[in-house]
Amino acid sequence: MSERINGAEALMRSFKEENVTTIFGYPGGFIIPVFDALYSYQKEFDCILTRHEQGAVHAAQGYARVTGQPGVVIVTSGPAATNVITGLADAMLDSTPLVVITGQSIVAQLGTDSFQETDVIGITQPVTKWSYQIRRAEDLPWAVARAFYIAREGRPGPVVLDLTKDAQTQLFDFEYEKCRFIRSYQPNPTPDQADLALAADLINLAKRPMAVVGQGVMLGHAEKELYEFLEKADIPAASTLLGLSIMANDYPLNMGMVGMHGNVAPNRKTGECDVLIAIGCRFSDRVTGDINTYAANANIIHFDIDPSELNKNVRVFLPVLGNVKQTLPAVTRLLKPARHTEWIASFKTYKEQEDKQVIARDLHPEGPAITMAETVKCISDKSGKQAVLVADVGQNEMVSARYFSAGPGRQFVASGGLGTMGFCLPAAVGAALGAPTSEIYAVCGDGGIQMTIQELGTIMQYQLPVKVVVLNNNFLGMVRQWQELFWDKRYSSTRMQNPDFVQLAASYHIAGRRVEKREELSEAVQQMIDHKGPYLLEVHVEEEGMVYPMIPAGQPISNIIMGPSEK
């Protein structure tokens, strides 16, 4: 039975049909009717007022990353719409499902450069799965249903609906039907049986197989299928940055992380394996290094749901198109039980080398200055098994990836493809709302946190128990590292004069503490963990600290730098 209501009310009811519970946003003139309708739904939706529209999108990303459900954002037109672009681009590269509603001027003024009018569709199309302008209220239910379907099905990603003020206020007969099919969109392609059989044959014949596990396994909810696949064929596996938290750290077949600052053993073994099985990853340049030398001795099998990723960056021997939830078990059924004992044991030599040359130096430094690594390791050791670490971008991110023991289950959140400084603090807001029973740690650098530091106000207003850790080295650390290694220590525009972060937190009524001495670190971390509610811990770390190992950009993976003597 249809009911005559306006578009703003219809949007609220559409959200209910899609099981939305949390909305991030910022009001403004051309979206007031929607926020007015939202006023009557305060019991149905948690509406989180961030301090900036970019913060709203990153918060929705954090929420989506820990829940697996689309994050929802509502902002107004003009500068609000343009402020969400960075978050949309980040979500697009990292396959994060979002539904973003932007306000727009009235239809009669479109194209006239009226106040706060922006070509939202033209701007957002390159960084979204779909963007659509709603000019009539009667089109709203159809568009919302389609938006959620596109955002979550297949390879997830962001969708934008640009909602004119006319569509918000017009009356129409409301009916809602969930979208279950779009003729022009095939989110779950049917696997080719011949490809599955060939993949199994290649793996069965392999003497030195290795798997690289990406976020696609998590997005496809195929963790169980991955374990069964690896164990039947006894395949050592490594994760990409966004693939962390799929396999348990102590899982016997987990060899660590690949990439520019990944672990030595899996990076080296990429060049030694005879079959490389890439599962739900996109062969980022940060993983491959020099493409011409990547996995030069291997036949590469690439499992992915997105046909555009197959043979895009790396030419592979066998692309396997399909959802890994389907393709992995189909191949597993065709595998012969195998044991690669000697091959797996050979990873140990490189691991011991890294333990001695890198990890021991990071965790037990000779100098008095605290290292980022020992700080993150202390947090990891003292935190609960369900703790979630949200990292910013830079040295803090790579150290967090290396030293935080994220268990299986969406416990490591970071900006991958776009590398967005400022992502961490608002994303931690969303993570805290999406995983309310987990400890949430926001590990930032002194540079990154100041890009979105106003979101301390959001944490304050909603008393979110986010533990903010500022690794303060008074530098833009990762850029400074590159300047030291490759630019003759010409530290151009990377040294920072910073505020008193603890006092700044106090101005937001957030408790905090500063640590400058190693002997205080353990007790300070425990104090942060024990504190009820939000907390900011500022740790002064070595100013010119480095993150090793490191593969210089564009160079072969074999050119791993282990420490200062190899610069």
Give the H or E element holding residue 209: strand 209-213
DSSP string, 111-133: TTT-TT---HHHHHGGGSSEEEE
What distance lies between CA 140 and its chain's CA centroid?
30
**Smallest Cα–Cα separation from 229: which of 244, 210, 245, 257?**
210
- Dihedral sign from CA coordinates of 507, 424, 450, 87: negative
**Neighbouring residues of 257: CB distance < 8 A, sequence distance ≥ 6:** 238, 239, 240, 241, 244, 263, 266, 401, 402
Q: Where are the beta strands (DSSP E) in 385-518?
A: 388-391, 412-413, 440-445, 466-472, 511-515
- 3-class DSSP assignment, residue 357: helix
DSSP string, 137-203: GGGHHHHHHHHHHHHHSSS--EEEEEEEHHHHH-EEEE-------BTTB-SSPPPPHHHHHHHHHHH
At position 232, the amino acid (one-letter code) is K
- Annotated catalytic residues are 53, 115-116, 165, 478
Q: Give the angle 303-305-310 at the CA atoms, nearest 5°.
A: 60
Residue reference for tokens 């030694």: 272
What count of other Cβ atoms lies within 10 Å of the Cβ of residue 353? 16
With both helix axes pointing from N to C terminus, report the angle between 140-152 and 7-17 in degrees, rounded to the nearest 10. Answer: 30
